[in-house]
């Protein structure tokens, strides 16, 4: 079976198509929200790496009274109650652009970004570490006190280092893998809760 056939026969892929969602990723966010109570309606949420839009669709459904800002390198079709920005998280002024849409900052930063994987585990891990560090830099500019960040990464040698970076900023840190994440995939999510700003000595 080819990669694409395998993907299309996957239960969450079929479920997303049947239920009219843009990606199977929506179930990962839904399951992590159910487990950790990430989202309360009325929050200010920044969704990095948002296209094609499964996570943004979920935010639109559960955070209709809040502010939902989504950002991606590639275009995303319109979603009710979501402001989309096309951009690269590595551009210098990315935080000023997102803060124009939510001047008081964000209560939750989500990142489902992963660079194209090469199959070379250590190189993929290093790229993933680089993204996590950048997302944390963005958090340091836009996250409110006691805010949360949920960031995708690849499990491997650098996971402990990444958790340490989280612990320098967040009161509580979890490593989690939702049931809808394919067991063969090394992807995991790091969740930081109770953001208190960067503290190097932690």
Residue ranges in contact with ligand SAM by CB under 6 A: 22-23, 25-26, 49-55, 71-74, 88-90, 112-114
Q: Which residues contact 173 (CB under 8 A, 6 or more apart)?
A: 163, 166, 167, 190, 191, 192, 193
Dist. CA 138–CA 164, nearest whole Å: 17
The nearer residue to ligand SAM, 113 or 162, going by C-beta atoms, is 113
Which candidate in 14, 80, 152, 168 is catalytic? Answer: 152
Residue 152 among the catalytic residues: yes
The nearer residue to ligand SAM, 126 or 196, going by C-beta atoms, is 126
- 175-194 burial by CB neighbour count: b if 16+ within 10 A, else e? eebbebbeeeebbbbbbbbe
Dist. CA 32–CA 18, nearest whole Å: 21
The nearer residue to ligand SAM, 96 or 146, going by C-beta atoms, is 96
Q: Which residues contact 181 (CB under 8 A, 6 or more apart)?
A: 28, 187, 188
Q: How far is the CB of 96 from ligand SAM (least distance, A)?
A: 16
The nearer residue to ligand SAM, 59 or 143, going by C-beta atoms, is 59
CB-side neighbour CA atoms (13 Å) of 164: 9
Dist. CA 139–CA 67, nearest whole Å: 16
Q: How far is the CB of 89 from ligand SAM (least distance, A)?
A: 4
Query: Using an 8 Å Cβ cutoff, are 134 and 173 in contact?
Result: no
Dist. CA 118–CA 116, nearest whole Å: 7
The nearer residue to ligand SAM, 113 or 142, going by C-beta atoms, is 113
Which residues belong to the active site? 152
């Amino acid at each position: 079976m080819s990669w694409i056939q395998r993907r299309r026969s996957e239960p969450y892929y079929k479920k997303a198509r049947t239920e009219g969602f843009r990606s199977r990723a929506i179930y990962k966010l839904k399951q992590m929200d159910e487990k950790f109570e990430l989202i309360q309606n009325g929050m200010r949420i920044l969704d990095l790496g948002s296209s094609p839009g499964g996570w943004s669709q979920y935010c639109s459904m559960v955070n209709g009274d809040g502010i939902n800002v989504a950002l991606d390198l590639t275009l995303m079709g319109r979603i009710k109650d979501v402001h989309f920005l096309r951009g690269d998280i590595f551009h210098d002024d990315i935080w000023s652009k997102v803060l124009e849409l939510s001047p008081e900052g964000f209560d939750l930063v989500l990142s489902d970004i992963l660079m194209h994987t090469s199959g070379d585990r250590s190189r993929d891990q290093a790229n993933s570490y680089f993204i996590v560090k950048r997302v944390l830099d963005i958090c340091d500019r836009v996250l409110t006190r006691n805010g949360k960040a949920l960031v995708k990464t690849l499990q491997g040698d650098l996971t402990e280092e990444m958790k340490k970076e989280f612990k320098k900023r967040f009161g509580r840190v979890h490593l989690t893998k939702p049931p809808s994440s394919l067991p063969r995939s090394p992807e995991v999510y790091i969740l930081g809760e109770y953001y208190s700003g960067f503290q190097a000595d932690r």
